[in-house]
Structure 1
Amino acid sequence: MEIVATGVEVSGAHGPLLAPTSLRARTGQVLLVTGDPNSGRTALALTLSGRLRPTRGTVRLNGAIDATALRRTVAVVDAPQITEPDGALALRDVVAEGLSLAARKSGRRKVRDWLSARDWLREGAGEERFENLAGYERTRLLLDLACENRTTRALVLDCPDRHGGDPAGWYSLAARHAERGMAVIALCAPHSADKLGMPPARIGADNLEMSTLDSAEGLR
């Protein structure tokens, strides 16, 4: 599977939200995309997933312009104020909501089984407030939930570095899902890509000539 954005830009009521950006993401690979906080990272995530129509430019899924197919195929993970869970919710409630959105059974037993299968059932873990999770654990849980939807083939991870911690942690999770057959786009700040030592695509640039990183190469 391939997602290709060509010259996508988004304008809002008070000015530009996303400068013209071109990039390519493929199954089995992780693409880092960097931009400053006001550069339109979330606007790009929503555009790549068919949830926001670009003012100019195109997003193609396997060569076709099809926003419905993009919405079905691409999951936006942890977008601030959009897909991020309410931090006051208990962990079990976040999982129940995620399973329900993925058209999975989400009763108490199913939630408990889901948490147990992923080693989350330490004492009292189900009642823990979601906002108390460390950044790595938060990202791990939300990526796993996004993959519960049977139609998900691509993941756009929106600014996981805003939760702190070593970027190698969330990058390793992104690479793991790429190895399992997902296309993964990770939006982050420039200093996170610098710390990872990897050449990123950049918001506001034509990145079609750059090669995405094979997830098997990870942080080697």
Structure 2
Amino acid sequence: MLSVQQLQINGRRTDLLPPTSLQVQRGELLLVSGGGQDQRTALALALSGRMKSSDGTLTWDNSAKVRKVRLASALVDSPGVNEPEQHLSVRDLVTEDLSLIPRRYRGALLSKPWLKVNRFEDIADLWIEQLPANRRLELLTSLALADPAVDLLVVDSPDRHSADASAWLPRLQALASDAGRPLAVVATVSALPDEWDGPAAVIGNSVKHTTEAVQPEPAAVVPTSGDADVDEHQEDQELQRTAK
């Protein structure tokens, strides 16, 4: 299970990632919403062990070692980080990504048979920019899972490629619930889909707002007519004593 408490990353002027808490276990898809791309990417990098936090805790299977989180996770399609270059063909991307798989698993991973086995032959000669959102996500998540050590999938802003959640949500749900290889899946999104009723969190959900208690001003005492008569009587008595 991935457990995060008060995770925060400093920025130049404001927090790059405001304090955020969440948890997700294998077999579960968690959607985390946040309005800013920088915040969503910072969270994705931190959850996958690729950016050090300034404060807070992050554990994977009860271990706080960043290396363990990084080895168990895959960061998918993070803008400005590891999103594929648009001028690449699918075939070239597959060749490039498979070469990054740990050596002990790499022997059998050649691009041509991999494309066939994973049913991407129909798009092998297309440019990345030509891929529809659903096929793009299928390709990139399949490449990430070519490493059998990956149990945690962190997908950065899949909704930026399509406003239609059906282009990416079913794929992520299927990956999380795969009985043969249940994954902990986290996706950062700009907003939760209307149809989503599963686990969700919001970036900055651990920010504590403190306000000083404002003491009410004492109400002005307005004397009643009876009180006024008593005051006038006391004043008359004081004058009489002074005269004597």
Fold conserved between structures, TM > 0.5: yes
Shift of 1:187: 0.8
Tell whether the 8 Å contact from 2:74 to 2:154 is kept in structure 1 after alignment.
yes
Deviation at 1:59, TM superposition (A): 0.4
Residue 113 of structure 1: aligned partner: 113
Amino acid at match of 2:116: S
Which secondary structure state, in structure 1, belongs to the residue aligned with residue 16 of structure 2? strand
Structure 1: which 5+ residue stretches go unaligned? Answer: 207-220
- Structure 2, unpaired ranges of 5+: 207-244
Q: CA deviation at 1:163?
A: 0.5
Specify which of 141, 157, 174 is matched with residue 139 of structure 2. 141
2:196 corresponds to which residue? 197
RMSD between superposed Cα atoms in Å: 2.0
Count of residue correspondences: 201
TM-score, L = length of structure 2 = 0.77
Distance 1:106 1:168 in 2: 35
For the Cα contact (< 8 Å) 2:165–2:193, is it kept in 1? no
TM-score by structure 1 length?
0.85
Equivalence map 1:1-220=2 (5 Å) = 2-38=1-37, 40-103=39-102, 104-105=105-106, 110-122=110-122, 125-180=123-178, 181-190=182-191, 193-198=192-197, 200-206=200-206
CA 1:165–1:117: 2 relative to 1, 3 Å = farther
Higher strand proportion, which one?
Answer: 1
Aligned with 1:196: secondary structure?
coil
| 1:42-77, Cα deviation, whole Å (9 max, x unpaired) | 100111111111111010112221100011011110
**Paired-residue identity, %:** 32
Counterpart amino acid of residue 185 in structure 1: V
State whether residues 6 and 21 of structure 1, in contact with CA within 8 Å, keep that contact through their aligned partners in structure 2: yes
**Which segment is superposed worse, 6-15 or 72-81?**
6-15
SS at match of 2:19: strand
Amino acid corresponding to residue 86 of structure 2 in structure 1: G
Per-residue deviation at 1:129?
0.7
Q: Distance in 2 between matches of 1:169 and 1:18?
A: 27
Conserved in 1, the CA contact under 8 Å of 2:98 and 2:110? no
